[in-house]
């Protein structure tokens, strides 16, 4: 059956607010940085918790952890929000939440329904996503990946399985055991295989590539949120 690219086109109005992320970018004993991309301008506040229970009191101390998005296109706004001045302990599970302020509303990971469904961010319904600082060097749990081929896995036979879902599964299995769950990810590959892309993915990426920058339009210059 011939592929109909029009069926893979999704106008911006059908996209949810977060386009990518949240992704923990960097963690030290004194700071945490999280990346987020969204369809409209926003201001984001990073909130940390002692564990992954969203009902727990936020972790005290540290700076405010607020950032304003940068406009890269009419429907592409990105930022890295960093909370500093912390005193995080190695081998301890911490959770995080975001307050995303746009002109129309304030949303959290919960209200965006990212903590539920078939793939909740925290692996279990209503759990916050979390992270762990490593203990001693000989206890460090790391994962490494190189180049990635988006359709390189035969899911039925698990031939040449995609490494990133495997990494995700490893975190899920050890999510409650801080010393054993993965703590750092290194991506050292030099390319994405753009010369061999499945037709369905290529059509979807082409559609998104036309919508995100809004080539014929400009950002409104207002990267702050009400």
User: Looking at residues 56-78, what average pLDDT do you find?
Assistant: 87
Owning domain of residue 37: 5-211
Q: Residue 217: inside a domain, yes or no?
A: no
Distance CA 30, CA 40 (A): 30
Give the dihedral sign, CA 160/161/163/167: negative
Residue 116's Cβ-side half-sphere holds a number of Cα atoms within 13 Å equal to: 7
Q: Residue 86: inside a domain, yes or no?
A: yes
Tell me what pLDDT residue 82 has.
95
Q: Inform me whether the pLDDT recorded for 209 exceeds 60.
A: yes
93-101 and 76-83 beta bridge pairing: unpaired
Tell me what pLDDT residue 195 has.
62
List pLDDT tens digits, range 134-160.
888 888 888 887 777 666 666 565 555
List pLDDT tens digits, range 94-105.
999 999 999 889
Q: Residue 224: inside a domain, yes or no?
A: no
List pLDDT tens digits, range 25-64.
999 999 999 999 998 899 999 999 998 998 888 888 878 8
Q: Longest C-alpha distance within the chain, in Å?
A: 59
In sequence order, the β-bridge partners of residue 101 are 43, 106
76-83 and 32-38 beta bridge pairing: antiparallel
Are residues 39 and 12 in contact, defined by beta-carbon separation less than 8 angstroms?
A: yes
The burial of 183, by beta-carbon neighbours within 10 Å (0-12 exposed, 13-18 middle, 19 or more buried), is given as buried
Own/partner contacts of 161-167, CB < 8 Å, gap of 24 or more, are 167/143
For position 88, which CATH number holds? Answer: 2.60.40.10
Tell me what pLDDT residue 223 has.
45
Q: Inform me whether the pLDDT recorded for 214 exceeds 90.
A: no
Tell me what pLDDT residue 219 has.
54
Are residues 48 and 59 in contact, defined by beta-carbon separation less than 8 angstroms?
A: yes
Shortest CA distance to 181 belongs to which of 191, 168, 194? 168
Tell me what pLDDT residue 1 has.
42
Instruction: Give how many domains the chain has, as a whole number.
Output: 1
Q: Which helix (H) or strand (E) holds 130?
A: strand 130-132
Output the average pLDDT for the chain: 81
Q: Residue 12: inside a domain, yes or no?
A: yes
Q: Residue 225: inside a domain, yes or no?
A: no
Provide the whole-model pTM. 0.81
């Amino acid at each position: 059956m011939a592929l109909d690219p029009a069926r893979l086109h999704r106008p911006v109005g059908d996209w949810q607010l977060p386009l990518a992320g949240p992704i923990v970018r960097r963690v030290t004993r004194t700071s945490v940085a999280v990346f987020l991309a969204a369809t409209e301008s926003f201001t984001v506040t990073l909130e940390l918790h002692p564990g992954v229970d969203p009902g727990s009191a936020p972790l005290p101390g540290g700076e405010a952890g607020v950032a304003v998005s940068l406009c890269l296109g009419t429907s592409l706004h990105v930022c890295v929000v960093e909370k500093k001045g912390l005193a995080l302990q190695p081998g301890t599970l911490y959770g995080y939440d975001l307050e995303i302020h746009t002109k129309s509303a304030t949303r959290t990971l919960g209200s965006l329904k990212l903590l539920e469904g078939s793939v909740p961010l925290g692996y279990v319904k209503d759990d916050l996503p979390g992270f762990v600082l490593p203990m001693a060097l000989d206890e460090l749990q790391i994962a490494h990946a190189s180049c990635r081929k988006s359709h390189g896995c035969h899911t039925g036979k698990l031939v040449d399985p995609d490494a990133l879902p495997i990494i995700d599964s490893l975190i899920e299995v050890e999510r409650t055991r801080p010393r054993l769950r993965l703590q750092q990810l290194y991506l050292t590959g030099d390319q994405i295989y753009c010369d061999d892309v499945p037709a369905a993915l290529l059509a979807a990426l082409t559609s998104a590539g036309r919508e995100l920058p809004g080539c014929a339009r400009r950002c409104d210059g207002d990267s702050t949120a009400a």
